[in-house]
Amino acid sequence: MSTPDHSPLGKHTVYADRYDPSLLFPIPRQTKRDEIGVTQPLPFQGVDIWNAYELSWLDMHGKPIAAVAEFHVPASSPNIIESKSFKLYLNGFAQEPVANAAALSALLQQDLSRAAGAPVMVHIQAPRAAAHTFADLDGELIDTLPVKIDDYGPPKADYLRADQHADMVEETLISDLLRSNCPVTGQPDWGSVQIRYQGAPIDREGLLRYLVSFRTHNEFHEQCVERIFMDVMKRCTPQRLSVYARYTRRGGLDINPFRSTDKDLPANVRGARQ
């Protein structure tokens, strides 16, 4: 079964160091989407951007090669890939001879696309060629608002409101206070979130209270971002909306979901906490 309880999360694990695509554990997206009213056709477009910093294999002479990789899993794919299974799968290449990065990229694309149920983009680079400069999400930070908060979950969409009598605005709001938890292990997931919209001005204090109310919530990264998108869309009815979260890495992987009414995809910027 493809439910979180049947995944490798929270279980004793033998770390394989040879190639094994069966380690990948897909989880259907629609189960959680049903909870928040996401139906087909999807009300958003988007992508889950994964960065892998612990990728290595052996060349044909037995010498280890180190690399970093970027993966784009489309939001339209029927499955997410559970992150621990993703890490175990990547670690399986540690003692695996592979002809070159192009051959590895093709193999990764094949296996990940099969698990996700849709084409996954794969880009592998040498670590020094991929050196990132820090570039935090742009926008107006709402974390400094003098707001008293005593609600840390579950998420409360009632905090969200927009002044429908005011002039329409186009603005970008950001927060570094997003925190949720793995639904299986309870481990905390820390992130920053950017909300870009066009429409009636959103009450910033209410938005901050809403984001903080994820603090004890148990849900995967992708599901949290879709919940934020749907709640803001339903409660504030913007004409355009994009939600982009950049989560800190765990086990050499970070996950950065993006959902939007627009077709443009975001830059893979690396925040100071990543």
Residue 17: active-site member: no
189 catalytic per annotation: yes
Binding site feature residues for NADPH:
83-84, 250-251
Torsion of CA 62, 99, 70, 125, to 10 degrees: 70
CA distance 218 to 224: 9
Which residue do the tokens 């209270």 mark?
209
Q: Of the listed 48, 111, 176, 189, which one is catalytic?
A: 189
Cβ proximity of 253 and 87 under 8 Å: yes
Which is catalytic among the residues 176, 182, 224, 236? 182
Residues whose CB is less than 8 angstroms from the CB of residue 165 and which lie 6 or more positions away in sequence, other chains included: none
Which of the residues are catalytic?
Answer: 182, 189
